[in-house]
């Protein structure tokens, strides 16, 4: 009964299993997301752990609850003894006699040995689970994750052309995985250290520039879950969040391609396509469209303006300059901004760059 | 004996004028100047913290301060509290004042060196603050590369500032080690030293050994920036994780530089105000030494998820649990000291008992973070923030405040208001737990640290946390008022108002005379052998 205090009830705030109607559940979640900056953290109350949505979660939670129980026991014992002594041996008279006891070999041995044994148990338990989390089973679904200020890019080697991005403005679908299949993330960063954290999966690993780090997990629940960056990475560290979606294996491929391939819809204008690219490919993280400069210059009224650059020269912000700035962003930096934009070479093709330029033209 | 001297001058009145303070060689005056410095920076660090907490009242960012300001504020808060407040708080301020008095010495071994460390601390803190402010540093107090590389050279000057401060630590540490070895009064054997002295001694050893690593880190940073040799910066082929190894190799022992002196104060508070011999003197003394040694080999537990090898993670997890054992032994020994005592609930003792409550929570929650798989979930969340505040503030600062009250009558010869002392202790106890206990719950739900905006479901706990922060402000304000008030209006006290048995109480006046003692004090008694102890009983 006490343990249930610490674990979220099975269905609290999480969509019901697919068997009970996945389509309805998905619609509910989407509605909820559009109101809140993030999907709710899957806890029933402040004392609960997030919903367990991976095979690791249960193991980690069991150890968490074991330590909680043990800590509570020891805290109650220590405070109980202290409280009792405070009451029993409070000073009643000024010359109250006190005991001459100074030490006790037996007691000191016991209170050294018992914690040592308990701590060893906790160490081995945590170590075994950790080792299991370190080695992915054979043939997992491979996913590439790139962190950069302040969004995530997720690609799937098995599905070329598919790319998902988080957004600093809204909760955006960032990672899609099938339920019940091991997934291995190979992660790196293009700028500073980030950290990839999905509380519902109980996984976290730093994303380090210049090297690859890996985590793997197997999702066990259909639903949408939070993704947080947990290594401080600058101004909008707290906006470097995203949504992880777990789907039925049968739906996974279809939904992934639908969400991850960015192409111009039939009848869609170039500018509208450009706006979608702006939101989905991370431009929104640094460039506003309302005239307020962020990490980069706002796009409002930018097209056709003469910009002074940090090297003292100036340039007219037209097609050529915009395209150059997308592919080689740190060559001609507008004065007053730091050269920290990553290159989009290989990430946006010619027609997508054109669409972005068309979109910028509309922002007068 | 003391009454005979009560009309003569003491160290506060022996000489006058600003110069007599700034160029004093008297360890007591140097200690007081450190104390003033530490308290001023504590006020500044506290204001930074409340600015952060005020912004966090609402989930969306920007109600009070911008993201950039928020990031600079938490950098300032962390850096000021760690380098300018907690590290020098007990050793440099109280330690300087007390160590020679407790040893029965006229001063520390090298009084000029002591003044030099104070001046280095002053210059270092000015330089450090100037760097943080002028360099617009927003890296957090850990200065992790490569993020810190993007702030130009500010990270070099900030590390340099920390290194200057570290130099002050090294000199103080060196001074204390020699003082303890060479200047003990006749009869004061190692087994009769007050536990405060043992704690200061262990701290000094860590200071001398760990701080040079910070200098090496600094040197490597400078080599990287000037000779363009890739060491930490991946853009030049370096390894940013290497920086974390270097940083924590200094900064983890520094955690024990911060907490060990707090343990020393706790031993004095508990024993003196319960009129009992400290339980397990040897275990407490030697566990300080054990902690000092093991603290050098646990740095990797800050990096379980940062990309170090799994094997390294496992080894560091094991060693982390090893350091937990001596800490547990100390806690049990303090509680056992209360057994069959005569406990008086005065203000210093209230802080002593509060320490047992808050530090126990801090220590026990460390077990979660030492366990590898659980740490993966909790790392860099509010759980960690709560844990180290329970240790650093619930441990060191609470002990420091208790220590200030305990030795206030010795420092100034006056008593503070006991009534207001108790009221403010209540504010601090409630405010502290309200601020930080919630943060464990936020952390277990996955709320990451250093977030300027957050998901709305966390708001209720953030509000509680912020209100707790304001209660702390009220508590500390009350303390500041009654302590300052007592300087002029406090009741005068005799040399030994607590009837304690160590030399700073038994052998000199309150406040002490300029050269501490008339003649050389001798030690026959154990520092915890109080007159109330019933020698006739057969209890042992």
**Measured CA distances, B518 to A118, B347, B507 (Å):** 53, 31, 9
% of chain B residues with pLDDT over 90: 77
The partner residues of A334 in beta bridges, in order of sequence, read A309
Average pLDDT estimate for B290-301: 91
| Count of H-run helices and E-run strands, chain A | 7, 12
Q: Please tell me the distance from the alpha carbon of residue B331 to that of residue B280, in angstroms, as a whole number.
A: 11
Residue B376, min C-alpha distance to chain A (Å): 6
* Predicted local confidence at residue A48, as pLDDT: 84
Among candidate residues A236, A151, A221, A142, the one with its CA nearest the CA of residue A184: A142
The helix (H) or strand (E) run that includes residue A23 is helix A22-35
Q: Is A237 in a helix, a strand, or coil?
A: helix
Cross-chain residue pair B343–A79, CB shorter than 8 Å:
no
Q: Over 70: is that where the pLDDT of B34 sits?
A: yes
Cross-chain residue pair A59–B373, CB shorter than 8 Å:
yes
**B123-138 pLDDT tens trace:** 999 988 888 878 778 8
| Residues of B with Cβ-Cβ distance to A234 under 8 angstroms | 71, 138, 147, 150
- Whether chain A has a CB inside 8 Å of the CB on B62: the answer is no
Burial class (CB in 10 A: 0-12, 13-18, 19+), A178: buried
Peptide bond into A150 cis (omega under 30): yes
- Whether chain B has a CB inside 8 Å of the CB on A334: the answer is no
Q: Please tell me the distance from the alpha carbon of residue A151 to that of residue A169, in angstroms, as a whole number.
A: 10
| Residue B239: closest C-alpha in chain A | A210
- Whether chain A has a CB inside 8 Å of the CB on B459: the answer is no
Q: Over 80: is that where the pLDDT of B537 sits?
A: no
CB nearest A123 (choices: B240, B321, B535): B321
In chain A, CATH 2.60.40.420 sits at: 1-79+107-261
Handedness of CA B457, B458, B460, B461 (dihedral sign): positive
Q: Please tell me the distance from the alpha carbon of residue B121 to that of residue B100, in angstroms, as a whole number.
A: 20
Q: Using an 8 Å Cβ cutoff, are B326 and A124 in contact? A: no
Cross-chain residue pair B280–A103, CB shorter than 8 Å:
yes
Cross-chain residue pair A119–B325, CB shorter than 8 Å:
yes
Confidence of residue A16 (pLDDT cuts 50, 70, 90): very low
Q: Over 50: is that where the pLDDT of A226 sits?
A: yes
- Whether chain A has a CB inside 8 Å of the CB on B364: the answer is yes
**A297-333 pLDDT tens trace:** 899 988 988 888 888 888 988 899 999 989 888 888 8
Peptide bond into B235 cis (omega under 30): no
CATH node for A1-79+107-261? 2.60.40.420
Burial class (CB in 10 A: 0-12, 13-18, 19+), B260: buried
Q: Over 80: is that where the pLDDT of A7 sits?
A: no
Averaged pLDDT score across all residues of chain A: 85
Instruction: Output helix, strand, coil percentages for chain A, rounded to the nearest 5.
Output: 40, 20, 40
Residues A154/A160/A162/A163 CA torsion (nearest 10 deg): 30
- Whether chain A has a CB inside 8 Å of the CB on B497: the answer is no
Q: Is B184 in a helix, a strand, or coil?
A: coil
Residues with Cβ within 8 Å of B273's Cβ and at least 6 positions away in sequence, in order, are B343, B344, B346, B348, B349, B352, B498
Average pLDDT estimate for A205-231: 94
Q: Classify domain B16-506 at the CATH class level.
A: mainly alpha
Cross-chain residue pair A43–B457, CB shorter than 8 Å:
yes
The partner residues of A197 in beta bridges, in order of sequence, read A204, A228
Peptide bond into B511 cis (omega under 30): yes
Q: Using an 8 Å Cβ cutoff, are B208 and B187 in contact? A: no
- Whether chain A has a CB inside 8 Å of the CB on B464: the answer is no
Window 86-115 of A, Cβ < 8 Å to B:
86, 89-91, 95-104, 107-108, 111-112, 115
Strands A141-148, A182-189: parallel, antiparallel or unpaired by DSSP? parallel
Q: Please tell me the distance from the alpha carbon of residue B433 to that of residue A112, in angstroms, as a whole number.
A: 28
Find the range with the poorest average confidence among A122-126, B33-37, B143-147, B376-380.
B143-147
Better-predicted residue by pLDDT, A186 or A363? A186
Neighbours of A337 (CB within 10 A): 16
* Predicted local confidence at residue B426, as pLDDT: 98
Q: Using an 8 Å Cβ cutoff, are A204 and A133 in contact? A: no
* Predicted local confidence at residue A9, as pLDDT: 42
Among candidate residues B193, B24, B194, the one with its CA nearest the CA of residue B118: B24
Average pLDDT estimate for B347-352: 98
Cross-chain residue pair B240–A210, CB shorter than 8 Å:
yes
Phi/psi of residue A266, nearest 5 degrees: -65, 130
CB pairs under 8 A between A and B: 304
Residues with Cβ within 8 Å of A168's Cβ and at least 6 positions away in sequence, in order, are A150, A151, A236, A239, A240, A284, A285
- Whether chain A has a CB inside 8 Å of the CB on B236: the answer is no
Instruction: Output helix, strand, coil percentages for chain B, rounded to the nearest 5.
Output: 70, 0, 25
The angle at the Cα of B479, spanning B473 to B485, to the nearest 5 degrees, equals 135
**B214-262 pLDDT tens trace:** 888 888 888 887 888 889 888 888 889 999 999 999 889 999 999 999 9
Q: Is A149 in a helix, a strand, or coil?
A: coil
Interface test with B, best of A97, A128, A236 (most B CBs within 10 A): A97
The partner residues of A225 in beta bridges, in order of sequence, read A244
CB nearest A197 (choices: B60, B339, B448): B448
CB nearest A209 (choices: B61, B146, B340): B146
| Residues of B with Cβ-Cβ distance to A338 under 8 angstroms | 150
Q: Over 50: is that where the pLDDT of A257 sits?
A: yes
Cross-chain residue pair B371–A338, CB shorter than 8 Å:
no
In chain A, CATH 1.10.760.10 sits at: 270-362
Residues B521/B171/B207/B523 CA torsion (nearest 10 deg): 0
**B210-227 pLDDT tens trace:** 988 888 888 888 888 788
CB nearest A60 (choices: B275, B314, B373): B373
Show me where the domains of chain B are located: 16-506
Cross-chain residue pair A211–B342, CB shorter than 8 Å:
no
Structure tokens at B104: 């029965």
| Residues of B with Cβ-Cβ distance to A67 under 8 angstroms | 367-368, 371, 374
Average pLDDT estimate for A37-58: 78
DSSP 8-state assignment for residue A91: -
Q: Over 70: is that where the pLDDT of B517 sits?
A: yes
- Whether chain B has a CB inside 8 Å of the CB on A239: the answer is yes
Q: Name residue, tokens 């995985």.
A: A177
- Whether chain B has a CB inside 8 Å of the CB on A234: the answer is yes
The helix (H) or strand (E) run that includes residue B209 is helix B195-227
Cross-chain residue pair B325–A115, CB shorter than 8 Å:
yes
Q: Please tell me the distance from the alpha carbon of residue A162 to that of residue A151, in angstroms, as a whole number.
A: 16
Which DSSP string corresponds to A255-319?
HHHHHH---PPTT--HHHHHHHHHHHSSGGGT--SSS---SS---TTTTTPEEEBTTS-EEE-SH
Residues B262/B264/B270/B271 CA torsion (nearest 10 deg): -170
Superfamily of domain A270-362: Cytochrome c-like domain (1.10.760.10)
- Whether chain B has a CB inside 8 Å of the CB on A5: the answer is no
């Amino acid at each position: 009964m006490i343990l249930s205090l610490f674990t979220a009830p099975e269905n609290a705030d999480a969509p019901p299993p697919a068997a009970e109607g996945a389509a309805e559940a998905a619609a509910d979640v989407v509605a909820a997301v559009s109101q809140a900056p993030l999907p709710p953290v899957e806890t029933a109350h402040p004392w609960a752990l997030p919903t367990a949505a991976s095979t690791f979660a249960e193991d980690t939670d069991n150890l968490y609850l074991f330590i909680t129980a043990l800590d509570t026991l020891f805290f109650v014992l220590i405070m109980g003894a202290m409280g009792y002594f405070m009451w029993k041996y409070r000073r009643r008279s000024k010359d109250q006699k006190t005991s001459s006891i100074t030490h006790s070999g037996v007691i000191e041995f016991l209170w050294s040995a018992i914690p040592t044994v308990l701590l060893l148990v906790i160490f081995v338990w945590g170590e075994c689970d950790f080792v299991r989390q370190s080695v992915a089973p054979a043939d997992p679904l491979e996913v590439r994750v790139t962190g950069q200020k302040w969004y995530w890019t997720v690609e799937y080697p098995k599905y070329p052309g598919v790319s998902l991005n988080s957004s600093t403005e809204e909760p955006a679908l960032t990672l899609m995985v099938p339920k019940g299949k091991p997934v291995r993330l190979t992660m790196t960063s293009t700028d500073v250290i980030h950290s990839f954290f999905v509380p519902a999966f109980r996984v976290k690993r730093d994303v380090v520039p210049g090297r690859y780090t890996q985590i793997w997990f197997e999702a066990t629940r259909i639903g949408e879950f939070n993704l947080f960056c947990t290594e401080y990475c600058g101004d909008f560290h707290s906006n470097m969040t995203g949504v992880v979606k777990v789907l039925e294996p049968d739906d996974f491929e279809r939904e992934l391609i639908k969400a991850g391939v960015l192409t111009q819809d039939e009848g869609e204008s170039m500018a509208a396509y450009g706006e979608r690219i702006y939101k989905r490919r991370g431009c929104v993280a640094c460039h506003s469209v309302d005239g307020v400069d962020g990490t980069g210059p706002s796009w409002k009224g930018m097209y056709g303006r003469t910009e002074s650059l940090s090297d003292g020269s100036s340039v007219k912000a037209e097609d050529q300059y915009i395209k150059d700035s997308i592919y080689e962003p740190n060559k001609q930096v507008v004065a007053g901004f730091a050269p920290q934009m990553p290159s989009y070479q290989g990430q946006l093709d010619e027609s997508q760059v054109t669409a972005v330029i068309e979109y910028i033209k509309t922002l007068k | 004996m003391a009454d005979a001297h009560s009309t003569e001058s003491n160290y506060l009145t022996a000489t006058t004028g600003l110069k007599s303070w700034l160029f004093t060689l008297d360890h007591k005056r140097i200690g007081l100047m450190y104390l003033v410095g530490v308290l001023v920076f504590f006020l500044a660090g506290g204001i930074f913290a409340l600015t952060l907490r005020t912004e966090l009242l609402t989930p969306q960012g920007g109600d009070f301060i911008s993201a950039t300001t928020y990031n600079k504020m938490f950098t300032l808060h962390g850096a000021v509290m760690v380098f300018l407040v907690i590290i020098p708080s007990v050793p440099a301020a109280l330690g300087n004042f007390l160590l020679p008095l407790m040893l029965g010495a006229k001063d520390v071994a090298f009084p000029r060196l002591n003044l030099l460390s104070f001046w280095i601390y002053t210059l270092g803190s000015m330089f450090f603050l100037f760097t943080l402010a002028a360099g617009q540093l927003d890296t957090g107090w850990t200065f992790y590369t490569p993020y810190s590389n993007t702030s130009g050279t500010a990270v070099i000057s900030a590390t340099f500032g920390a290194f200057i401060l570290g130099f002050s630590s090294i000199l103080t540490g060196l001074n204390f080690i020699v003082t303890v070895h060479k200047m003990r009064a006749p009869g004061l054997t190692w087994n009769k030293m007050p536990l405060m002295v043992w704690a200061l001694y262990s701290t000094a050893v860590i200071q001398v050994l760990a701080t040079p690593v910070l200098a090496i880190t600094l040197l490597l940073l400078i080599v990287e920036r000037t000779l363009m040799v890739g060491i930490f910066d991946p853009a030049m082929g370096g390894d940013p994780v290497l920086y974390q190894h270097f940083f924590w190799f200094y900064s983890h022992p520094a955690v024990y530089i911060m907490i060990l002196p707090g343990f020393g104060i706790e031993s004095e508070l508990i024993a003196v105000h319960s009129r009992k011999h400290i339980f397990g003197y040897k275990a407490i003394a030697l566990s300080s030494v054990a902690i000092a040694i093991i603290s050098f080999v646990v740095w990797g537990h800050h990096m379980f998820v940062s990309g170090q090898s799994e094997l390294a993670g496992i080894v560091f997890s094991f060693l982390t649990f090893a350091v937990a054992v001596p800490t547990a032994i100390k806690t049990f020994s303090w509680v056992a000291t209360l057994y069959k005592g005569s406990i008086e609930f005065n203000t210093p003792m209230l802080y002593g008992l509060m320490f047992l409550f808050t530090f126990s929570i801090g220590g026990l929650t460390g077990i979660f973070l030492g366990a590898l798989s659980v740490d993966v979930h909790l790392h860099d969340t509010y759980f960690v923030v709560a844990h180290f505040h329970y240790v650093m503030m619930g441990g060191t600062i609470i002990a420091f405040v208790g220590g200030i009250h305990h030795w206030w009558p010795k420092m100034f010869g006056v008593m503070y208001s006991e009534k207001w002392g108790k009221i403010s202790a209540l504010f601090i106890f409630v405010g502290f737990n309200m601020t930080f206990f919630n943060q464990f719950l936020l952390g277990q739900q996955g709320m990451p640290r250093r977030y300027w905006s957050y998901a709305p479901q966390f708001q209720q706990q953030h509000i509680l946390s912020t209100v707790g922060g304001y209660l702390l402000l009220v508590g500390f304000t009350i303390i500041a008022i009654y302590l300052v008030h007592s300087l002029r209006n406090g009741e005068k006290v005799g040399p030994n108002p607590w009837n304690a048995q160590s030399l700073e109480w038994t052998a000199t006046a309150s406040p002490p005379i300029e050269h501490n003692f008339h003649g050389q004090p001798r030690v026959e008694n154990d520092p915890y052998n109080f007159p109330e102890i019933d020698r006739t009983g057969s209890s042992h």
